[in-house]
Amino acid sequence: MSDFATFYRDTEPRIAAAAATKYGHPVEDRALLAALSPMRAVDEIAAPLLVVHGELDTNVPIGEAHQVVAALRERSHDVEYLELEGEGHEYRRTSSRALLVRRMVEFVVARLG
């Protein structure tokens, strides 16, 4: 997730309820969650990023990936995005896993030579 506020707003209610015990309550711990949200520190990201998300993920809404990728692209940051078609929170298909590994290798090789 890239922003706790949008995560809690957009995720399934059962996921939000479970997440509150893990990360903090979306109302009671709002200030803490805002401070911990990666979107608040997007200007501090220095490393190239490969962001990967399952198209059908209902645990972490796909908007979490979209917003961090958009913010990084607005800043001309080195970011690539891979959306795994037909996949949810866990990547179950062999073809998706193979694609992910291939893209990770290509990403690293392109940057390290």
What pLDDT shows up at residue 113? 82
3 strand-pairing partners: none
Give me Rg for the CA atoms of the chain: 15
- At 89, the amino acid letter reads H
Give tens-digit pLDDT for 52-72.
Answer: 999 999 999 999 999 999 999
Give the separation between CA 86 and CA 78, rounded to whole angstroms. Answer: 26
* Pick from 12, 78, 15, 14: nearest CA to 45: 78
What pLDDT shows up at residue 9? 96
User: Residue 77, exposed/middle/buried by CB under 10 A (0-12, 13-18, 19+)?
Assistant: middle
Residue 12 has pLDDT above 90, yes or no: yes
What pLDDT shows up at residue 101? 99
Q: Which domains does the chain have, with CATH numbers?
A: 4-112 (3.40.50.1820)
Which residue's entry shows tokens 């990936």? 65
What pLDDT shows up at residue 81? 99
Taking the alpha carbons of 19, 68, 44, 40 in that order, is the dihedral positive or negative?
A: negative
**Which conformational region is residue 86 in: left (phi greater than 0), alpha (psi within -120 to 50 degrees), or beta?**
left
pTM over the 0.85 mark = yes
Residue 107 has pLDDT above 90, yes or no: yes
Q: Contact 95/65 with Cβ under 8 angstroms?
A: no
What pLDDT shows up at residue 90? 96
Give tens-digit pLDDT for 18-27.
Answer: 999 999 999 9
